[in-house]
Amino acid sequence: MTPLLPALLDPPDRVALRFPDRELTYSELASAAAALAVQLAGRTRVALHATPTIHTAVGIVAALLAGVTAVPLNPKLGERELAHVLSDSAPELVLAAPGAPAPGDLPRVDVDLDATGTVPGDEPPPTAPALVVYTSGTTGPPKGAVLSRGAVAANLDALAEAWEWTADDLLAHALPLFHVHGLVLGVLGPLRRGGTLHHLGALEAGTLAASGATLVFGVPTQYHRLADQLEADPEAAAAVGRSRLLVSGSAALTAVDHARLQKATGLAVRERYGMTETLILTAARASDEPETGTVGKPLTGTEVRIAGDGDMGAVEVRGPSLFDGYLNRPDATAAARTADGWFATGDIGRWTASGALALVGRSATDLIKSGGYKIGAGEIENALLEHAGVAEAAVIGVPDEDLGERIVAFVVPVGEAPGERELIDHVAALLAPHKRPRQVRFADALPRNDMGKVVKARLPRE
């Protein structure tokens, strides 16, 4: 049986993990993780205090070597959320960095980076659960998505094909390590290839330029700030431009930031699309010129369909990277699947002429029904962001006696706010008249979660 992390059995002579305060070669990682795995043997589930540190990376590797399911904990969880996750997942202990305050009253095991051990030769079956990753809980208490070892392996291999990802790549990012983006793609991805992860701590122009990265992961908020820095630092921009790929995910990157980054670095950013429950479904490939406003084509082995009549509808998927269900929630698991067994993502999308997927938004918050039309909020947000006076935008539908729903835009301005009518007319000039906002509200900031996604449920509807 092919190991999930084959490089640990025959460690290459290179750095596996590099963090701001410590690095480990493959031999050192294999030894430390193997020693920790011995302490985890026989457990069912263990919590991982998932701070953005090298200890988290070693902890997840140790759990995988031991064949124990890991439950990564967002270190910023509030008391109620933390209590729910711990009660629901029932981990037997928590892994943490020495001296770091660990959550809850669980027994703890410190991650010792200097411990020595031998990697076990037994590989758990692909069907064994690798992770229970909790959703953001925007529509109720967080649900634990159970991801198998086979799902993780299949997804990382499909991404390696799409991005031509090899052992020679050095991945740089500064993502949190409690979720799929940073932990599965950002830690297990390079380790499965036998390459190097450099976790920068912050996606800052100077440190990124000095990292020698060939591959960069980030979320739109990080890339927006990076674009500001690179525009002011041509030398750093040139160094970043020597990377192979810049990849953005977790939310849509605006057309404006796409253009700014490409002008600064010469690189067109690739976007990809996925969820906790599905891992990555589509991605712009390394060999293709990315199409702004899309998230690429389905990965090899993954099927994506648009349900309903017309060219826009619900995105439904099936393939080897899908989760096995929500922990302790057979009702929610069943509700997430269609009658014929596809997973309903809750997103609304359409296919472009090139065969790429373009996302309109979430069905619950981003499909606005106004005046008999179905309108995607994302399209209006992108149009607003093309105005020089708009830094951020979020669009929702609010109840309206005449229209059913009227379009309301929340805008964070650049400097002095432009006029409301100016922005309404700007959208009307770019899109069909029925897609223009009926109202624009200005704000200092938009509510976001830890992954940088705007939480529209927190925007006022009145």
Confirm whether pTM is higher than 0.85: no
In the predicted model, is pLDDT for residue 316 greater than 60? yes
CATH 3.30.300.30 describes domain 365-458:
yes
Main-chain phi, psi angles of 216, to 5 degrees? -130, 130
pLDDT value of residue 137: 54
Count CB atoms within 10 A of the CB of residue 122.
8
DSSP bridge pairs for 315: 306
Dist CA 288 CA 167 (whole Å): 21
Residue 272 tokens, joined: 């990809």
Cβ 233 vs Cβ 263: under 8 Å:
no
Q: What is the pLDDT of residues 137-166, one digit of tens each?
A: 545 578 999 999 999 999 999 999 999 999
- Reported as a pLDDT band with limits 50, 70 and 90, residue 368 is confident
- Computed over every residue of the chain, the mean pLDDT equals 92
In the predicted model, is pLDDT for residue 369 greater than 90? no
List all residues 6 or more positions away from 253 whose beta carbon is below 8 Å from its beta carbon. 220, 223, 269, 271
Nearest to 437 by CA among 372, 393, 388: 393
Topology adopted by domain 6-193 = Rossmann fold (3.40.50)
- Reported as a pLDDT band with limits 50, 70 and 90, residue 221 is confident
Count CB atoms within 10 A of the CB of residue 305.
15
Domain ranges across the chain: 6-193, 365-458
pLDDT value of residue 140: 58
For residue 377, the one-letter residue type is A
